[in-house]
Structures are given as C-alpha cells and as structure tokens.
C-alpha cells in the first residue's frame, strides 16, 4: 500500500470517528436515550462530546503529518534519543582521554583521572604508576595511536566504554616495524567523569614481542650485558622495566642506539 493511499484511508477512518463523536453531542437524542438525566449531566456530555471531536480531528492532523514525514520521528533530525546523551557523553569522555593520553602530557592527563581507579602501568607489587609508565614510553620513542571507542554496556554504576589503540615502542617506527594493534583502554564513566580505567596491551599476540621486545633484549645481552641488568630489575626476565629517572636516562640512550643500528641494517 502506498503512503498516499494509507493516508487517505487513515483520514477516512478518523473522520468517521470524529463524526460519531460529534453526533454524541445531540442533546435531544441523549435526552430520549437517558430520560430523567439532569440538565447538568446533558451539558457535561455535550462538553465531553465536543472535546472528543476536537481530539479526533487533532489526531487526524498529527498522524497524517507523521506519515507524510512532516513530523520527525524519534532520533531523526537531531531529535533526542533517550539513551543518546549518556552514550555520547561517555564516548566523548573516553575519546578525549585517549587523545590526551597519547600526548604524554601528564599535567593535562592528571585532572581527567582525579578520583579514578587506575590500572595503566602496574608494577610487580600490583601498584599503578601511570606517570612513570608514560615517562618510560616517551623515553623509548613510544607513540600511542588512538582508534575507535564504543559502549560495551550500561548500568546504574556507569557506562562501560572500550577504546582501541595501536602503538610504537623502542623507536619501532624508525626502522619500519609496527604499529602494533589490538590494545584496549577500558573505562567506567558516569556523568562524563572517569571512575575506572584499565589498559590491556596485546604484546603477546600482536607481534610486538617477537618483532621488537625480544630482539632488543638479545641485542642488549650481546652488546651491553652490564647495562641490561640496570634496565630490567629482574634480568634476564624482561617483564618489568626500570622506570626510575636514572633508568629512564639509560633507556633513552640505549633504545636510540638500538634503533639507529637496526635502521642501518644491523640486528
């Protein structure tokens, strides 16, 4: 059935109901049908019938306009979506954080994490030191490349948002390796405020370990065995790094030396 035909049928039906409502205002008919009713009751029925008629006519106008597209449906033309504002607010907050986090600017990042539970750079004791983590990433020529953010679910506690990102580390962009993807920053956000954030890297599956991390450790063992112990607190295990100020200076020096040699065709 075409839209014009549907509109004509809808108008006909609603007009018929409107006429029936108007007929109910016939006081003589009501008097015969309801003998003994008071004058006040008849007046009330007359008013009710008139209101019903006006409502029916108004319904015709609104529905015809709706079917013809003159009245926007929910969610069209920027009209409010009940779930929209909170979703947009949460995603916007997450995207703003990832973009700021990628600058390594701790002064700008800190206010966004005020009061939040953080798991961005956890040490061997389970404590988080996100500032030191960013310092290390910056020292080794790291880059964070923001991806997309999406809502995972909503609850009274807040909206869960996941943001993907790629990264470079140990100057991997300099020698043409990476970036390495499948990493996520996961947030709990309520009223635009970050309540919790967790970083999960895919270093064991996205190629970073075999292409960058392990070759760097092997290079250290061959060329700087003594310094290797100063870069990794648990050397020869390389799970944790020395991110103290002194450690960062050595990381900066040796990671750049490694990148230069690898760029020149070295190991």
pLDDT tens-digit readout, 17-47: 445 444 444 433 333 333 333 333 444 444 4
Using a 10 angstrom Cβ sphere, with 0-12 exposed, 13-18 middle and 19 or more buried, the burial of residue 156 is: exposed
Give the residue-averaged pLDDT of 234-259. Answer: 96
pTM for the model stands at 0.67
Tell me the H-state helices in 24-143: 27-33, 39-67, 84-101, 106-109, 130-139
Tokens (6 digits) for 264: 């020149």
What gap in Å lies between CA 239 and CA 234, rounded to an integer?
A: 8
What kind and span of H or E run contains 72?
A: none
Output the pLDDT for position 121.
94
Give the residue-averaged pLDDT of 196-214. Answer: 97
Asked if pLDDT for residue 243 goes beyond 90, the answer is yes
| 166 vs 60 pLDDT, higher one | 166
Output the pLDDT for position 266.
77
Grouping H, G, I as helix, E, B as strand and the rest as coil, residue 181 is: strand
Output the pLDDT for position 15.
54
Give the residue-averaged pLDDT of 1-15. Answer: 48
């Amino acid at each position: 059935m075409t839209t014009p035909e549907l509109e004509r049928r809808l108008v006909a039906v609603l007009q018929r109901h409107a006429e029936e409502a108007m007929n109910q205002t016939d006081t003589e008919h009501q008097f015969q049908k309801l003998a003994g009713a008071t004058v006040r009751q008849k007046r009330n029925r007359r008013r009710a019938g008139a209101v019903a008629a006006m409502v029916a006519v108004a319904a015709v106008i609104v529905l015809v306009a709706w079917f013809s597209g003159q009245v926007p449906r929910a969610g069209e033309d920027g009209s409010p979506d009940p779930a929209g504002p909170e979703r947009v607010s949460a995603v916007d907050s997450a995207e703003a954080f990832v973009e700021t986090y990628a600058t390594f600017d701790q002064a700008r990042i800190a206010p966004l994490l005020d009061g939040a539970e953080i798991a961005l750079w956890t040490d061997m004791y389970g404590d988080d030191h996100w500032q030191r983590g960013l310092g290390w990433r910056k020292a080794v020529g790291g880059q964070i490349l923001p991806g997309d953010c999406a809502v995972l679910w909503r609850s009274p506690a807040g909206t869960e948002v996941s943001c993907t990102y790629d990264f470079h580390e140990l100057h991997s962009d300099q020698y043409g390796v990476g970036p390495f993807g499948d990493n996520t920053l996961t947030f709990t956000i309520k009223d635009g405020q970050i309540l919790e954030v967790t970083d999960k890297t895919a270093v064991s599956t996205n190629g970073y370990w075999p292409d960058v991390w392990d070759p760097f450790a092997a290079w250290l063992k061959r060329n700087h065995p003594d310094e290797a112990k100063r870069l990794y607190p648990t050397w020869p295990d390389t799970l944790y790094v020395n991110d103290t100020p002194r450690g960062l200076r050595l990381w900066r020096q040796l990671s750049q030396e490694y990148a230069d040699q690898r760029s020149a065709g070295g190991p």
